[in-house]
Amino acid sequence: MFHQLSGKNVLILFHNDLRVMDNATLSKAAKLSRDGRLLLVYASSLMDILDNQNSQAAYHYDTMGVARQQFLQESLADLNTSLELLGNKLLHLHKTPTSPNTFMQLNELIEAQQVTDICVSQTADYYQNQIYVRLQNKHPQIRWHIETTATLFDELPLDDLPKSFTQFRKKIEADYDLLHAAQDIAICATPERLAPIPESLVDRCEYEYFFKAGEDNAQAISQQKQQSSNFKGGESNGLNHLKSYFNSDAPSTYKITRNALDEWTHSTKFSAWLANGSLSVNTILNRLRRYERDVIANDSTYWIWFELLRREYFYWYAVTHQQKLFWFKGIGQHTPSTQLDQKKLEQWRNGDTAYPIVNACMHQLKATGYMSNRGRQLVASCFIHELGLDWRYGATYFEQHLIDYDVASNWGNWQYLAGVGADPRGCRQFNLDKQTQQYDPNGKFIHQWQGVLKQDS
C-alpha cells in the first residue's frame, strides 16, 4: 500500500497532448509533484461509459480503423520512451477480459494511489470534457489543473466567435498577427526530471497497465497488414518530419500545390501529429517564422499560417457550440433533407460508388488513414449531395479511420460542407467530373487507388 509522503500525488491524464516538448500540462505536473509522486496515464475507451450519446455509439462504429490505431500506438510508444528518459513511465489503461471498463480502472487507480491533483490539457472535445466532469464529481477533494497545449491562444481572443472563418481570420490578423509578431511564441520548457511513480506500482513490475507496445491492437494490426506509410506516430517522428519539411523547398510552393490529391510534399502533412498533440502548433509556427526569416516569405508561407488559423477557428467553434457539433441541424435552424440509406452508405465506405475519384479517395483512406483536403471535400460533397446521406455518418466514418482525426476539424468541416455550420453561403457541392479533370487529368490517382470499378459492380 502506498504511504502518502509530504508531497502531492499528481496524475496526468494524457489525451491529445502526447509529447514532452512544449507541454504545459507536463510542466505543471512536474512542478506540482516535485516532492511527491507522479502518475502518467493514458486511458483508452473512456467514453464507453457515456451512455449512447457520443458519436461512436450513435452512428455505429466499434473500433478505430487499423491505421489510426497503429499511429496512436506508435505515438504512445514514443511518449513512453521519452517519459522513461525523464525517470517515469506511461500507464496505459485499456480494456482487459477481466476489466472492460477503463473509467472504473482509472477511479481505482486514483483511490488506491490517493491522488491529490489531476492535470489535463484543455480540449474542445465535448465528450472528453464530460469524462472530466464525472471524475470531478466522483472525487471532489482532488484539485484540477487545466493547461493549454493544443492551440495558439489560451482562450478565444475575441468577445464572440465570428460566424465565418474569414471574419475570424481578419480579426485575428488585425490584433494578434503571430506570424509577423516581433517575438517567437514562448515554448514551454521540457522538465529535466520527473518525480517517480509510486513505490507500490514500481514493486509490481508486472503491473498490467505499464505501457507495452501494441497491447490494444497487436492482433488487429497483424491481421490487416498496413500499406507502408510515411506517417509514423510519435513526437520524435513528428519533429523529424517538421525538420525535413522546412529543410526542403516545399513550404515556398505550398499554396500552389496544397490541393494535390496524393503527393507527400504537396501539403505539410502536419495534421496527424497535431491532432494527437505529438507536435505543438507553437513549435510549427515558430519554425515557419524562421523559414520566412531565413529562406523566403511569400504567399505560400503565409498560407500555411492561414490554414493553421483555420484549425484554430474550428477549435473555438467546437468549444463555442458544444454538443451542437454533433447535431443533424448543426448550429442552424433547419434539419437537412438527407437521410441514412445503409446500402449507399456501404458503397461510399467501400469506395464502390459511381464516382471513380470518390472511390479512389475512399480506398486511400481505408489503406492509409489519410486523405488530402481536396479528397475530403469531394467525398463529403458526394456523400451529402450525390448520395443524399445524413452527414453525421460520413463524419463518424472519418472519425473511425483518419489518423489525424480531430473532433473540431472533422465535425466542423463536415457541418460546413453540409450547410449546417460555419458557412454563410450554405452548403457546398462540388462538380465531381470537373474536379476530376482538374486534379487528376491523367487518371493517375484513380488508377493508383483503383477508383474505376469492374464492369459488373
Ligand X SMILES: Cc1cc2nc3c(=O)[nH]c(=O)nc-3n(C[C@H](O)[C@H](O)[C@H](O)COP(=O)(O)OP(=O)(O)OC[C@H]3O[C@@H](n4cnc5c(N)ncnc54)[C@H](O)[C@@H]3O)c2cc1C
Going by the annotation, the residues of the binding site for FAD are: 254, 267-271, 307-315, 404-406
CA distance 79 to 98: 27
Proportion of the chain in helix, strand, coil states, percent, rounded to 5: 50, 5, 45
Burial category of 215 from C-beta neighbours within 10 Å (exposed 0-12, middle 13-18, buried 19 and up): middle
Nearer to ligand X, 21 or 378 (CB): 378
392 binds ligand X (CB under 6 A): no
Nearer to ligand X, 103 or 414 (CB): 414
Tell the smallest beta-carbon distance from residue 3 to ligand X (Å): 45
Judged by DSSP in three states, 230 sits in coil
What are the DSSP E strand ranges found in 189-231? Answer: none
Task: Kindly tell me which residue out of 372, 396, 400, 436 binds ligand X, with binding defined by CB under 6 A.
Answer: 372
Nearer to ligand X, 88 or 271 (CB): 271
410 binds ligand X (CB under 6 A): yes
Residue 415 C-alpha cell reads as 457541418
13 binds ligand X (CB under 6 A): no
Nearer to ligand X, 37 or 376 (CB): 376
Tell the smallest beta-carbon distance from residue 441 to ligand X (Å): 21
Residue 203 C-alpha cell reads as 514493486
Nearer to ligand X, 13 or 402 (CB): 402
Which residues, 6+ apart, have CB-to-CB distance to 369 below 8 Å?
65, 66, 67, 68, 70, 71, 229, 231, 272, 401, 402, 403, 404
CA distance 384 to 327: 15
Q: What is the largest CA-CA distance in the chain?
A: 74
Encode burial over 57-68: b for 16+ CB neighbours within 10 A, e otherwise.
eebebeebbbbb
CA distance 239 to 217: 25
- Total of chain residues touching ligand X, rule CB under 6 A: 29
280 binds ligand X (CB under 6 A): no
Task: Kindly tell me which residue out of 116, 130, 268, 301 binds ligand X, with binding defined by CB under 6 A.
Answer: 268
Tell the smallest beta-carbon distance from residue 412 to ligand X (Å): 7
Task: Kindly tell me which residue out of 361, 380, 389, 418 binds ligand X, with binding defined by CB under 6 A.
Answer: 380
402 binds ligand X (CB under 6 A): yes
172 binds ligand X (CB under 6 A): no
Residue 61 C-alpha cell reads as 462504429
Name the residue with cell 455550420: 421
Nearer to ligand X, 136 or 438 (CB): 438
Residue 91: name the closest of 113, 70, 69, 117 by CA: 113
307 binds ligand X (CB under 6 A): yes
Task: Kindly tell me which residue out of 32, 43, 90, 308 binds ligand X, with binding defined by CB under 6 A.
Answer: 308
What type of residue is 161? Answer: L
Task: Kindly tell me which residue out of 19, 311, 363, 392 binds ligand X, with binding defined by CB under 6 A.
Answer: 311
Nearer to ligand X, 44 or 267 (CB): 267
373 binds ligand X (CB under 6 A): yes
Judged by DSSP in three states, 1 sits in coil
Which residues bind to ligand X, rule: CB under 6 A? 258, 267-271, 274-275, 304, 307-308, 310-311, 314, 372-373, 376-377, 380, 398, 402, 404-406, 409-410, 413-414, 417
